[in-house]
Chains A and B, each alone.
Chain A
Amino acid sequence: MTTLFNILITFIWVFILYALWDAAFSETGAIAGYSWDEMRTYILLAYGINALVGWRVASQMMGTIRTGEITRELTRPLNYRSTQLAAAAGMSVVEGLISLVLILVLGTLLFDVQPPDSPVAAALFAVALLAGFVIKALCIFLISLLCFWTLNSVGLMWAQQAVISVLSGTLIPLAMMPGALRVVAEVLPLRGIVSTPLQIYLGKAQGWDLAGLLALQFGWLAVLWFFSDWAWRKAFNAVEIQGG
């Protein structure tokens, strides 16, 4: 049920944005280098991708920390971070597959989505998408760890959703952002979640640009990997388990 609602909500957003951008593009042929054909594709795929690691992964992890349910997970011989990543992957496979079918159907019927720029772009898109998935899951893991200190999850959830959807390029492509925000978004790891895979998909990045994008993405992936491990240790050492 939750899965279906998540997908439904994603598509409501897509339709709203579609209508907005349709109006914007009726005046002009291209905005910040994006044609209407590309923009349609971007909107639909961006939301599909950002919905992959959804609300539930974070709320589940924060919930276990807040209530002390985490006790159960910690008395098992499992690495905590791996468990969380696996849970994220599990939920994403289900939601992802359903979304994929919907995107293909709606995309071809209603949105007239563009195919990938080239077979190479398609392959690299898949690689970047996977890396982006891990980046998002790690970011959510890190944010959820804050719950150990705040013991409040609602604020963290909203903040996390908002920041990720802006800085990942889900709401608008990075190229259309105003100066300072654009610089920030281009440096931070969150662009790797949506923007990087889609730039590759649409053929917006070629040659060295493309290599640079992937290098940045994988560089951040490595940093987040080590940082999240360190942060978990820190959290584990510093704080208490809730409940008697």
Chain B
Amino acid sequence: MDTNAAPIIEAKGLTKHFRRPVKEPGLKGAVRHLFRPAYADVVAVEGVNLSILPGESVAYVGPNGAGKSTTVKLLTGILVPTSGRVTVNGLTPFENRVENARRIGVVFGQRTQLWWDIPVGESFRLLGDIYELPDETYRASFGELIDVLDLEPLLRVPARQLSLGQRMRCDLAASLLHRPPILYLDEPTIGLDVSVKARFREFIRYMHRERGLTVMLTSHDLGDIEELCDRMVMIDNGRIVYDGALSEVTTRFGWERAVHLTLTEPDESALEAASRALGNRPGAVATQPEPTMVAVTFDSRETTAGELIRDLATALAVTDIRIEEPTAESIIRRLYEGDLVFEQAE
């Protein structure tokens, strides 16, 4: 990666609002809407700044409805932003949708780009025509993809008869046939089994490392992110809340920890005793998931594990203590569940 290079994807203050009709339920609401339509302004993406260098691989994560897909649609030029600027390959995607489409590949995990009723091989040939690939380029590109993705046996099969894993391989080939410098993957591994997933990741890694493909991936699968991406951008409620390495998310937001205590015997009053012992510790909360277990979550900026253990060990009969370190996964999960609020990234 050349850090001096100009970004291949750049967004500044990218914002998209939707107008959504507000209808009251039932016939009465429908009739009222007909005469006096009411709309709510829905913020899908708000002030997103993003700068991706050629050859980077970026994971774009966030809970459902956070604005991931909208961002991808804005970057691929099929949505027009409400405000802000986007540049991809030096073009403004929505103004040059057709030109932009030549230089990007897109895989939507939930939608195939193959023609449903015709053999896969024919779909590829059609795509070759659509992208106006010269014969030689087409043959070289096609040959390589067939080889790497092992598509030879599938070429005569119509898309509707493919399994999900086979379809994903074909879709990958279809999106890279015209050799775009950028590949957008929108939840590509949804529904794939473990071995297909592994092959998928291997292929993307190969294209990324060997071919310098710039990859932007939205996924809920932490494995995808860990294995494929050097960088993670997290979006919540339409705003970017984190932009950095996956491993660093723990140092930045991992101040929430937990101490798990195993009791000598089932104790109904343990929770009360623990709470009393913790009375003066800010941010420490005790729960009793099992009769013989007490868990205490605390804020490591306010208190230390040592202090907590000292308090608890005198109040309870404890046989074992385990301190839980935060992992990227637990932090992301808690963000998704909405019980961890990230401060806005700078």
Contacts and interface: CB of A to CB of B under 8 A. Distances in A.
B131 A241 contact: no
A71 B98 contact: no
A241 B78 contact: yes
A244 B63 CA distance: 12
Contact of B78 (A75, A77, A79): A75
Given A69-B111, A244-B64, A74 B18 contact: no
Nearest to B110: A244
Contact of B80 (A69, A236, A244): A236
Given A77-B98, A79-B98, A244-B69, A71 B18 contact: no
Contacts of A237: 80
A134 B18 CA distance: 34
Given A240-B18, A244-B64, A77 B102 contact: yes
Nearest to B18: A240
Q: Which of B73, B78, B101, B104 has the most chain A CB atoms inside 10 A of its CB?
A: B78
Contacts of B130: 76-78
A197 B14 CA distance: 51
B80 A71 contact: no
B97 interface: yes
Contacts, number: 43
B104 A75 contact: yes
B79 interface: yes
A71 B73 contact: yes
Q: Which of B64, B111, B130 has the most chain A CB atoms inside 10 A of its CB?
A: B111
Contacts of A69: 111
Contacts of A240: 18, 79
A206 B186 CA distance: 60
A241 B106 CA distance: 16
B111 A71 contact: yes
A74 B108 CA distance: 13
Contacts of B18: 240
B76 interface: yes
Interface residues of B, number: 23
Nearest to A240: B18
A72 B80 contact: no
Q: Which of A74, A77, A78, A241 has the most chain B CB atoms inside 10 A of its CB?
A: A77
A69 B102 CA distance: 19
A240 B94 CA distance: 13
B102 A71 contact: no
A77 B101 contact: yes
B227 interface: no
B98 A75 contact: no
Interface string A75-95: 111110000000000000000
Given A71-B73, A244-B69, A76 B79 contact: no
B79 A75 contact: no
Given A237-B80, A241-B73, A244-B69, A74 B111 contact: no
Contacts of B78: 71, 74-75, 241
B101 A71 contact: no
Nearest to B111: A72
A229 to B, nearest CB: 14
B99 A77 contact: yes
A24 to B, nearest CB: 41
B113 interface: yes
Contact of B98 (A72, A78, A241): A78
Contacts of A72: 108, 111, 113
Contacts of B101: 74-78
Interface in B63-112: 64, 69, 73, 76-80, 97-99, 101-102, 104, 106, 108, 110-111
A244 B110 CA distance: 9
A241 B97 CA distance: 15
A244 B18 CA distance: 13
A76 B131 CA distance: 8
A241 B111 CA distance: 14
B6 to A, nearest CB: 23
Contacts of B73: 71, 241
A236 B98 CA distance: 13
Interface in A37-82: 69, 71-72, 74-79
A154 to B, nearest CB: 16
Nearest to B20: A240
B121 to A, nearest CB: 18
Contacts of B110: 244
A73 to B, nearest CB: 9
Nearest to A78: B130
Interface string A206-244: 000000000000000000000000000000110011001
Contacts of B77: 74
Given A69-B111, A77-B102, 9 more contacts: A71-B78, A71-B111, A75-B78, A76-B130, A77-B98, A77-B130, A78-B101, A241-B73, A244-B69
19 contacts: A69-B111, A71-B73, A71-B111, A74-B76, A74-B78, A75-B76, A75-B78, A75-B101, A75-B106, A76-B101, A77-B131, A78-B98, A236-B80, A237-B80, A240-B18, A240-B79, A241-B79, A244-B69, A244-B110
Interface of A: 69, 71-72, 74-79, 236-237, 240-241, 244
